[in-house]
Amino acid sequence: MITRVLAAGLAAGFVAGLLVALLQHFTTTPLILAAEVYENQVALDARPGVVLSGMHGARLILAHVGHDAAPGAEAGDAWAPADGLERTVYASTVTVATAVGFAFLLLAGMLVAGDAIDRQRALSWAAAGFVVTGLAPAFGLPPELPGMHAADLLDRQVWWIGTAVATATGLWLLLRSRGVALPVLGLALLLAPHVIGAPHPADAGAGRVPAELAARFASVSLSVHAVLWVLVGVLAGWFWQRNETPVVAEA
């Protein structure tokens, strides 16, 4: 069983990750590069005589990391992969690793729940996975571009993790519990993080990234996130069924 889970999870995650990495190259990456021009301009404003040229200073920004550099720190002080092939390889590796992790979570959840693993059921679980890790957290903390003003990193991480856990638990209780009390508790858990509210900076208007660019990135990122889950679900179900041992009828 463990070997089968590893084989299906690795295969599904690797294929889905590569496909989504290619998709990101033409969708979210250009938006990140455009935002990095505004982010780098903030540091250059304090350096007389320096002119930003093109996007050659662009660097890889992990989610919710680029907003917390020490005041006065220059963009070049932090290590970043070189533009071009090196940057593409690093970004693609992260995407593939994420897809593999999603595939293992999906298969583990279905096994714990006792559900038969096929493409249709795996796709349903993938939809729930997108709600838990993408849609629900995005209601409070939409995907952010480099250079956007944001609240403290730890506060955002705590709220994101709490929202994901509450959403996963709430969906389970709402969809799999009988009676009234547990589904109502599940609904309450779904709403709780948003009633509490996500952390946001007091001066929300700060930052140089245009609102139109930020909104476009948020919508495109969520779409790519959904595609990743769909591919993981379909491929995990397909690879799992493909590895089924056929039953030989006895004479």
Distance (Å, rounded) from C-alpha 155 to C-alpha 248?
Answer: 56
| 248 in a structural domain | no
* Same-domain status, 17 and 95: yes
Domain of 7 in residue numbering reads as: 2-144+211-242
| 221 in a structural domain | yes
Burial of residue 122 (CB within 10 Å: 0-12, 13-18, 19+) is: buried
How is residue 135 written in tokens? 């849609």
Distance (Å, rounded) from C-alpha 39 to C-alpha 69?
Answer: 12
Tell me the β-bridge partners of 148: 207
Run of H or E residues at 95: helix 85-113
Nearest CA among 85, 88, 108 for reference residue 96: 88
* Same-domain status, 195 and 218: no
* Same-domain status, 24 and 92: yes
Distance (Å, rounded) from C-alpha 234 to C-alpha 138?
Answer: 24
Q: Which amino acid is at 238?
A: W
* Same-domain status, 183 and 78: no
Q: Tell how far CA 42 is from the center of its chain.
A: 27
* Same-domain status, 136 and 163: no
pLDDT at 38: 79
* Same-domain status, 185 and 226: no
* Same-domain status, 173 and 81: no
Tell me the β-bridge partners of 207: 148
Q: DSSP assignment, residue 244?
A: P
In tens, the pLDDT along 68-120 reads 444 444 444 556 677 777 888 999 999 999 999 999 999 999 999 999 999 99
| 81 in a structural domain | yes
Q: Taking the complete model, does pTM exceed 0.85, yes or no?
A: no
How is residue 183 written in tokens? 């589904």
* Same-domain status, 75 and 123: yes
How many independent structural domains does the chain possess? 2
pLDDT at 116: 92
* Same-domain status, 38 and 97: yes
| 205 in a structural domain | no
* Same-domain status, 12 and 91: yes
| 250 in a structural domain | no
* Same-domain status, 193 and 215: no
pLDDT at 79: 62
Q: Which residues of the chain have pLDDT under 70?
A: 41-80, 203-207, 245-251
| 251 in a structural domain | no
* Same-domain status, 138 and 82: yes
